[in-house]
Amino acid sequence: MTVLAADPVKEKASAQKTWVFLFDELDKVEATAKPKDWEDVRSLLGGKGANLFEMTRLGLPVPPGFTVTTEACNGYLAANHEFPTGMWDQEVVAMHEVERKVGKTFGDPKNPLFVSCRSGAKFSMPGMMDTVLNIGLNDETAKGMIELTGDPRFVYDSYRRLIQMFGSVVMGVADEPFEEAIAEQKKKRGVRHDVELTAEDWQALVEKFKTLVKAYKSQEFPQDPYKQLEMATRAVFNSWFGKRAIDYRNATNISHDLGTAVNIVTMVFGNMGNDSATGVAFTRNPADGTKELYGDYLINAQGEDVVAGIRNTLPIMQLKQDMPDAFNQFLEIVTKLENHFQDMQDVEFTIERKKLWMLQTRNGKRTARAAIKMAVDMNNEGLITKKQAIGRVTPEQVDQLLHPQFSAEIKKSASKEGRRLVSKAVNASPGAAVGMAVFDADTAAEWGKAGKAVIMVRPETKPDDVHGMIAAKGILTSRGGATSHAAVVARQFGTPAVCGAEELAIDVDHRIFQVHIDDKLVEVREGEWISLDGGTGEVFLGQLPTQDPDFDNEVELNTLLKWADEVRKLGVWANADYPKDAVRARRYGAEGIGLCRTEHMFFEEERLPIVQEMIMATSKARRLSALERLLPVQRGDFEGIFRAMDGNPVIIRLLDPPLHEFLPSFHDLVADLADLKVRLQHFHTLSEIDTALGQVRAKEDVLSRVKALSESNPMLGLRGDRLSVVMPEITEMQVRAILEAAVRVKREGIDVHPEIMVPLAGHVNELKYIKEIVDRVAAEVFAESGTTVDFKYGSMVEVPRAALTADELAEVAEFYSFGTNDLTQTTFGMSRDDAESKFLLEYTEKGLLPSNPFQQLDRGGVGKLIKMTVELGRATRPEMHMGICGEHGGDPNSIEFCHLAGLNYVSCSPYRVPIARLAAAQAAIKHS
Ligand code: ADP
Ligand code: MG
Ligand code: MG
């Protein structure tokens, strides 16, 4: 070691890269890797590793061990599966350090050290990459261990686990032959549970397992501990590109180039007798957020047993009686951890002969409901700030909470209507799910892709099932508890799940499950409907109807959204065409209506004939008569919306038609005509023929009008404000309906702020032409009623020309609203329907587009036009109010863009208003 400053260049050249760090070397990590922040540490050591280091630094009882970095993994994968130079030597040196610390030697039969090999990527991917326990066991060390412990049953059980895990995870032998061998042994001995097998049984199984490995892989199970270590390290690296891991990353948007770290941890044994145990726990209830210790443990068991759902676990609070000292220490530790990480922790622990060991801690996964409750509670407890609380909940989680639920009445009446409650089991992940039963992941994925609602029914789930679980509306298992694989994955994806429904006899091979209802055995086959309530753990046969959640009574959600309202810069408005939508929009927190479309109003049954008459009218007089009858109807609609919005602005868009949509289709008309003409041949009397001919003529009129209206490019045809140019009387009627409604509602003492919006304009002259109509009608209405209302006149921005000349348009338009769906179509020059059905998927799959631009706003192109409009528009009219309407208004990523572009508000469907409130706040915090 040089004490004086060494030549830095020379030192760099000779210093070898550090690939391996011991758990107590966090200082060294910081000194050599120079991480900028904790995220960087997690990138290097993986999430599991980083937290093992941190727990060690906090002085908690973590078994000694070391971590091989994600950099080493990436180096290995890049170099054709060769360990980076120096890595293996460092791993061996680290192993000797661990030996020194624990006073045992890896592979030494007299005093053997055993380790686990655990993967750990930056983001936890539960069950994605398997852990191998008990590495270092072989024929020799097993004997030595028996001498030391006097417990051959424990030793052979551990040894067979090693061969089993190593065989399947590292060497690629399927797990089934091992499980079958155990089942066979149990049958032979006439016992039902693993715990009833003796030392001799496990010893026999060890031998059997070795032959299984040999038979399946024509390779011996490696006896050399270092060979075991090396192969396990490789297997973890390789698993980064295993199918399961790739699927999971695709489903959760985790980048594929992060790599995984390898954690080597001294084994501690929860299966050393009745003073040993192993378990998992959450510092708060991950299903509903209650502040209570939540989890399971097993006495005399090892690692995976708890999550695998093979044995029925004990609730964590029971540990207080079983092992009070260990429990108290545990409680103290997890409280410290929650305070330290300022978030709910998900921990794994093992008690070896009364001594507690911490094996993992991480921020726990939680349901939407729990996330919201915890965020609000933790702020109230002073643990986190309001801004942190806002960041703890994702917009998708808010969406989940607002999903349909079963009502209590419906469930009560369920038994009467042949939809029977058949089980009440573990409420593993809340929400209502209705779907057809399927019994394997592939079918679930296939049916799900075909658009069917399915519920995946399994005895238990495994990591291989994840693709099916993602596709399912709900998950139902007959084994396992709240921390089983099925439960953890379901909560992660927000999928409702009921676990451990023991009443169900699931027969996966025959694709059925059986259940007793009042002594009668009922059978449910694949494809039959079932309903789950993941919040209560109830399982019903048949399809239960769902209902909307009770937003007003979501106290925590409303608190969190109020905090969001305090920080967000964007207004949140809603698109609503009917008074009932407007009411919902207000309830969900909308501050205005950003888009009220008038087309839908025209489609309603009693109005459609009048609308058709108006379109068919060959003379202006006739058209006016039809319009006169439409006027009161439209006025009524607007009155309802103005009342519901009670003083908040309402933007009403003038009719934006494809007129032909209001008429029968060309094909139907041709078919009808052919039919009529055939019938004509069978008529005899003159009057019969006369009426029939009259009918033919009427149909022919409609047909010729449909033909006249048909366009070769409807997307670029007579749409938007072009109608106002061709048939100004329609616009006159609409403006009159809007303003008369406004006058009437104003007289009721309600504040009204109508804003009249022109669709699709691209030239300032269009706006001027329509403004003349608007001003003329307004003057008439105000004169007639002797009242005036304050209204605005503005334009949509839906075609590039509007964006390009936004300074000119702003001379007439008082506000802009971006119709981003059409703006995306016209900017890309692609029609959405054609694009999505024919080629867009190829574009995203081949990486030509990062995402579907109709779902997530295309910042580079469409976004540029928006920014340009903002700049040009406000150059003419400095305070010009602008927002977006259309689906993008409810998409968090697009909302972030709107915040950055300086828009005043986003307008989205009423259901997405709460999501947008949160997303807008998160954007404001992120870019403050
Ligand atoms: P996962 O990411 O799937 O949870 P882990 O690496 O955490 O995988 O390990 C799986 C199980 O094995 C956990 O229950 C864990 O507590 C246990 N385990 C891992 N390493 C050890 C060890 N050194 N001693 C005892 N149990 C261990
Ligand atoms: Mg695992
Ligand atoms: Mg774990």
Q: Which ligand is nearest to the CA of 358?
A: 1
162: β partners: none
CA distance 193 to 459: 17
Q: Is 866 exposed, middle or buried (0-12, 13-18, 19+ CB in 10 A)?
A: buried
* pLDDT surpassing 60 at residue 413: yes
Q: Calculate how far, in angstroms, residue 168's C-alpha sits from the geometric centre of ligand 2.
A: 12
Report whether 682 contacts 688 (CB < 8 A).
Answer: no
pLDDT for the residue 129: 66
DSSP run (H or E) holding 67 = strand 65-68
Sequence-distant (≥ 6) Cβ neighbours of residue 8 within 8 angstroms: none
Of 365, 270, 367, 248, nearest in space to 319 by CA: 270
Q: Which ligand is nearest to the CA of 295?
A: 1
For residue 263, how far is the Cα from the chain centroid? 29
Q: Calculate how far, in angstroms, residue 675's C-alpha sits from the geometric centre of ligand 1.
A: 75
Query: pLDDT class for 184, splitting at 50, 70, 90?
Result: very high
pLDDT per position as a tens digit, 283-328: 999 989 999 999 999 998 887 777 766 677 899 999 999 999 999 9
* pLDDT surpassing 50 at residue 594: yes
CA distance 266 to 62: 9
DSSP assignment of 194-245: GGG--HHHHHHHHHHHHHHHHHHHSSPPP--HHHHHHHHHHHHHHHTTSHHH
* pLDDT surpassing 80 at residue 271: yes
CA distance 291 to 386: 19
Report whether 574 contacts 913 (CB < 8 A).
Answer: yes
Taking CA atoms, 491 is separated from 359, 397, 715, in Å, by: 22, 11, 43
Q: Calculate how far, in angstroms, residue 308's C-alpha sits from the geometric centre of ligand 1.
A: 12
Query: pLDDT class for 685, splitting at 50, 70, 90?
Result: confident
DSSP assignment of 616-682: H-SSHHHHHHHHHHHHHHHHHHHHHHHHHHTTSEEEEEPP---GGGGS--HHHHHHHHHHHHHHHTT
3-state secondary structure of 332: helix
* pLDDT surpassing 70 at residue 85: yes
Tell the residue nearest (CA) to atom 18 of ligand 1. 303
DSSP run (H or E) holding 541 = strand 538-541
Catalytic residue chosen out of the listed positions 485, 660, 888, 899: 485
Sequence-distant (≥ 6) Cβ neighbours of residue 30 within 8 angstroms: 41
Tell the residue nearest (CA) to atom 12 of ligand 1. 303
pLDDT for the residue 449: 86
Least confident span in 181-185, 830-834, 912-916: 830-834
Report whether 526 contacts 429 (CB < 8 A).
Answer: no
Sequence-distant (≥ 6) Cβ neighbours of residue 396 within 8 angstroms: 368, 494, 915
Angle 762-768-771 (CA atoms, 0-180°, nearest 5)?
A: 115
Query: pLDDT class for 5, splitting at 50, 70, 90?
Result: very low
pLDDT per position as a tens digit, 508-556: 999 999 998 878 888 999 999 999 999 889 999 999 988 878 888 899 9
Sequence-distant (≥ 6) Cβ neighbours of residue 886 within 8 angstroms: 575, 595, 818, 819, 820, 821, 822, 907
What integer best gives the mean pLDDT of the chain?
Answer: 91
Query: pLDDT class for 126, splitting at 50, 70, 90?
Result: low
CA distance 148 to 136: 15
Report whether 657 contacts 723 (CB < 8 A).
Answer: yes
Query: pLDDT class for 919, splitting at 50, 70, 90?
Result: very high
Q: H/E/C letters for each residue in 140-195?
A: HHHHHHHHHHCCHHHHHHHHHHHHHHHHHHHCCCCCHHHHHHHHHHHHHHCCCCHH
Query: Of all residues in the chain, what percent carry a pLDDT higher than 70?
Result: 97
CA distance 14 to 87: 15
- 73: alpha, beta or left, given left = phi > 0 and alpha = psi -120 to 50? alpha
Instruction: Write phi, then psi, for 499 (nearest 5 degrees).
Output: -120, 160
pLDDT for the residue 310: 65
Of 565, 533, 537, 527, nearest in space to 546 by CA: 533
CA distance 20 to 89: 10
* pLDDT surpassing 80 at residue 911: yes
- 85 or 672, which is more confident: 85
Average pLDDT over residues 250-268: 90
* pLDDT surpassing 80 at residue 11: no
pLDDT for the residue 419: 67
Q: Which ligand is nearest to the CA of 348?
A: 1
Of 209, 125, 202, nearest in space to 164 by CA: 209
pLDDT for the residue 416: 58
pLDDT per position as a tens digit, 654-669: 998 777 777 778 888 8
CA distance 757 to 593: 12
CA distance 505 to 513: 5
CA distance 467 to 18: 37
Q: List ligand 1's pocket residues with C-beta within 6 A.
A: 63, 116, 118, 127, 131, 133, 265-268, 303-304, 348, 350, 359-360
DSSP run (H or E) holding 517 = strand 512-517
pLDDT per position as a tens digit, 91-111: 999 999 999 999 999 999 999
Average pLDDT over residues 364-373: 92
Of 104, 149, 122, nearest in space to 267 by CA: 104
pLDDT for the residue 8: 47
Residue 518 CB neighbours (<10 A): 6
pLDDT for the residue 417: 53
CA distance 264 to 127: 17
Average pLDDT over residues 39-56: 97
pLDDT per position as a tens digit, 623-644: 999 999 999 999 999 999 999 9
Sequence-distant (≥ 6) Cβ neighbours of residue 218 within 8 angstroms: none
Angle 438-439-443 (CA atoms, 0-180°, nearest 5)?
A: 65
Average pLDDT over residues 897-920: 96
Q: Calculate how far, in angstroms, residue 130's C-alpha sits from the geometric centre of ligand 2.
A: 4
- 342: alpha, beta or left, given left = phi > 0 and alpha = psi -120 to 50? left
| Distance in Å from the first CA to the final CA of the chain | 47
- 711 or 178, which is more confident: 178
Report whether 29 contacts 70 (CB < 8 A).
Answer: no
Taking CA atoms, 914 is separated from 65, 402, 646, 924, in Å, by: 46, 9, 19, 16
Angle 741-742-746 (CA atoms, 0-180°, nearest 5)?
A: 120
Ligand 1 pocket mutation, candidates 67, 118, 125, 361, criterion most atoms within 8 A of CB: 118
* pLDDT surpassing 80 at residue 122: yes
pLDDT for the residue 259: 93
Instruction: Write phi, then psi, for 407 (nearest 5 degrees).
Output: -90, 155
Of 796, 727, 718, 713, nearest in space to 762 by CA: 796
Instruction: Write phi, then psi, for 799 (nearest 5 degrees).
Output: -125, 150
Average pLDDT over residues 781-806: 97
Average pLDDT over residues 249-258: 84
Average pLDDT over residues 253-265: 92
- 750 or 470, which is more confident: 750
Sequence-distant (≥ 6) Cβ neighbours of residue 410 within 8 angstroms: 544, 545, 547
Ligand 1 pocket mutation, candidates 359, 461, 464, criterion most atoms within 8 A of CB: 359
Burial 481-494 (b: 16+ CB within 10 A, else e): bbbbbbbbbbbbbb
Catalytic residue chosen out of the listed positions 885, 898, 899, 908: 885
Taking CA atoms, 553 is separated from 32, 396, 559, 587, 784, in Å, by: 52, 19, 11, 11, 46
pLDDT for the residue 128: 56
Query: Of all residues in the chain, what percent carry a pLDDT higher than 90?
Result: 68
885 counts as catalytic: yes
The pTM of the full predicted model, rounded to 2 decimals, is: 0.81
- 658 or 820, which is more confident: 820
Q: Calculate how far, in angstroms, residue 125's C-alpha sits from the geometric centre of ligand 2.
A: 9
Sequence-distant (≥ 6) Cβ neighbours of residue 730 within 8 angstroms: 614, 627, 655, 723, 724
Query: pLDDT class for 10, splitting at 50, 70, 90?
Result: very low
pLDDT for the residue 387: 97
pLDDT per position as a tens digit, 331-349: 999 999 999 999 999 999 9
CA distance 104 to 98: 8
Of 221, 134, 209, 200, nearest in space to 177 by CA: 209
pLDDT for the residue 673: 86
Tell the residue nearest (CA) to atom 3 of ligand 1. 127
Average pLDDT over residues 427-454: 92
pLDDT for the residue 665: 80
pLDDT for the residue 124: 78
Sheet holding 421-424, edge to edge: 421-424, 538-541, 529-533, 432-438, 454-458, 474-477, 497-499, 426-429
Least confident span in 441-455, 661-675, 720-734, 777-791: 661-675
Q: Which ligand is nearest to the CA of 136?
A: 1
Ligand 1 pocket mutation, candidates 129, 130, 131, criterion most atoms within 8 A of CB: 131
- 146 or 886, which is more confident: 146
Residue showing tokens 């016209």: 826
CA distance 115 to 136: 7
DSSP assignment of 681-725: TT--SHHHHHHHHHHHHHHHHHHHHHHHH--S-GGGSS-TTHHHH
Report whether 301 contacts 309 (CB < 8 A).
Answer: no
CA distance 369 to 393: 10
Longest dimension (CA), the chain: 122
